[in-house]
Amino acid sequence: MSPHMTPEEFRHHGKQVVDWIADYLAGIESRPVVSPVRPGEIRGALPAHPPERGEPFESVLADLERVLLPGITHWQHPGFFGYFPSNSSGPAILGDLLSSGLGVQGMLWVTSPACTELETVVLDWLAELLGLPDRFRTDAAGGGVIQDSASSACLVALLAALHRAGGGRVAAEGVDRRYTLYVTSQTHSSLEKAARIAGLGAAAVRVVDVDPRTLAMDPGHLRALLAGDEAAGAAPAMVCATVGTTSTTAVDPVAAIGAVCRERGVWLHVDAAYAGVAAVCPEFRWLNDGVAEYADSYATNPHKWLLTTFDCGVLWTADRAPLLGALSILPEYLRNAATDSGSVVDYRDWQVPLGRRFRALKLWSVIRWYGAEGLRAHIRKGVALAGELARWITADPGFELHEPRPLGLVCVRPLWPGLTEEEADEATLRLMELLNASGTMCLTHTRIAGRVTLRIAIGAPATERRHVAQAWARLRREHAALRAALAGRPRVRKGRGSG
Ligand SMILES: *Cc1c(COP(=O)(O)O)cnc(C)c1O
């Protein structure tokens, strides 16, 4: 007998799976947000060896429920405020399922023309929805491509930038000069990773000063660094400006940075992984200031705040030629008439891997289900809730709000009168552990000017006002209790391990 699942069996189990997901999402609020398991606990509960004989699919579902769910942190929980939102949504899940159902490999136009052409159209749509420039469109010199992540997007942008900076020689001859890359202390770590992967090394990453209050890049310092480095024989390849940094959603002055890049002929990459999608709302179009005039490449992640289940990061470039120059290789086994004709897009030349999933299907499903209106309503809700929380914080003398606070992320420092800075930082981390162990919420932290600060990122589709209000009430309550407990002791324990 054939070991394969028949279409009828698939229909049966497929319905079970869809029911399971619907029940999971409907009941998600009753689960503890952060998984409490210890390292190795899940692994220890799983068989060490694979089955010799096939098992019924029900066993997989049963183990999902019994063994795996305790080890799941529920990112779609309305009390999940950690990192940045990683939105999922019904239409995205179904679009992804359809992509799996088709099982298409979209590396070349010819390997499934609709996979490529839908992606082109959907990314032109998205550029229009976000108010991004026409030159990012594929019918102009540029174009968009779906990547697995913003990290891949910045790596690919760096490879294109190196291609341009090296006059097209880097692809053939390798890194032949001391190329440099410009970031700030607030830039995402994926830029340094890209520099390492590209063979430039972390030493090639030059750190531009930020404004101490806004944490935005100082374009004057960028100009000075570029000039100094060039005089010392370096070849500046790329500047990364961030619109909405990961730590605090600081916004670099893209127009001023872009003007410096243009003076020097340096590639400008704009990393708007989290914040970029907010430009779907006209009132947040200012996030794009300078992008149309100056950006050589631009990345944002529908898989963060735009309802498109991971993975779906988008990279646009204003000129696809350096990208293709850096990454195109045509081995004989991939040759085909369509590629030879030059009249089609082969997205394998726009990314690191060869193979690619049909990710455009889920983004297409999302955009069609929500419409521009629905997408705007989602962003606006998150921003409004964050605004309300920020007002509550401002009114409470026990906490300090970090500003500017442009979108859905609220950074807040609980105050600990009587404690040293170091003790206060430890107390804030302890408070966060207590809150995360409560099962009702997930928060993460950052450091601003060296001080531990809590991050509350609002933007899950399930999050309503009451969830934010409950989280704030618990934060105040636990803070007051811990403050009282610490005040009762002569001294907070010094740094970890000091006895
Ligand atoms: C989240 C984030 C990234 C990384 O995103 P991935 O898609 O996970 O690689 C890069 N830059 C910024 C500003 C981010 O917030």
Angle at 58 between CA 57 and CA 64, to 5 degrees: 95
Please name the residue whose Cα sits nearest to atom 5 of ligand 1.
150
Atom of ligand 1 nearest to the CA of 246: 15
Per-residue pLDDT, averaged over 242-264, amounts to: 98
Q: Is the CB of 247 under 6 A from ligand 1?
A: no
Strands 205-208 and 267-271: unpaired
Distance separating alpha carbons of residues 372 and 57, to the nearest angstrom: 39
The answer to whether 182 and 267 have CB atoms below 8 angstroms apart is no
Kindly state the tokens that stand for 328.
């195109």
Task: Give the distance (Å) from ligand 1 centre to CA of residue 245.
Answer: 9
* Residue whose entry in the numeric block shows the structure tokens 């619907």: 22
Dihedral of the CA atoms 331, 336, 338, 341 (nearest 10)? 70
pLDDT at 215 > cutoff 60: yes
* Tens of pLDDT, residues 80-116: 999 999 999 999 999 999 999 999 999 999 999 999 9
pLDDT at 461 > cutoff 80: yes
Per-residue pLDDT, averaged over 120-139, amounts to: 96
* Tens of pLDDT, residues 4-19: 999 999 999 999 999 9
Atom of ligand 1 nearest to the CA of 244: 13
Label residue 341 by pLDDT band (50, 70, 90): confident
What integer best gives the mean pLDDT of the chain?
Answer: 96
3-class DSSP state of 134: helix
The answer to whether 340 and 349 have CB atoms below 8 angstroms apart is no
Q: Is the CB of 184 under 6 A from ligand 1?
A: no
Distance separating alpha carbons of residues 312 and 123, to the nearest angstrom: 11
pLDDT at 333 > cutoff 80: yes
The answer to whether 266 and 50 have CB atoms below 8 angstroms apart is no
pLDDT at 492 > cutoff 60: no
* Tens of pLDDT, residues 218-229: 999 999 999 999
Task: Give the distance (Å) from ligand 1 centre to CA of residue 273.
Answer: 5
Q: What is the pLDDT of residue 495?
A: 47
Percent of the chain with pLDDT over 70: 98
Q: What is the pLDDT of residue 496?
A: 46
Please name the residue whose Cα sits nearest to atom 8 of ligand 1.
149
Distance separating alpha carbons of residues 145 and 240, to the nearest angstrom: 19
Per-residue pLDDT, averaged over 38-60, amounts to: 97
Angle at 400 between CA 423 and CA 243, to 5 degrees: 110
Distance separating alpha carbons of residues 462 and 448, to the nearest angstrom: 29
Dihedral of the CA atoms 364, 370, 371, 373 (nearest 10)? -150
Q: CB 13: neighbour CB atoms within 10 A?
A: 16
Q: Is the CB of 284 under 6 A from ligand 1?
A: no
Q: What is the pLDDT of residue 491?
A: 54
Domain annotation for the chain: domains and CATH numbers: 7-30+35-72 (1.20.1340.10), 104-357 (3.40.640.10), 372-487 (3.90.1150.10)
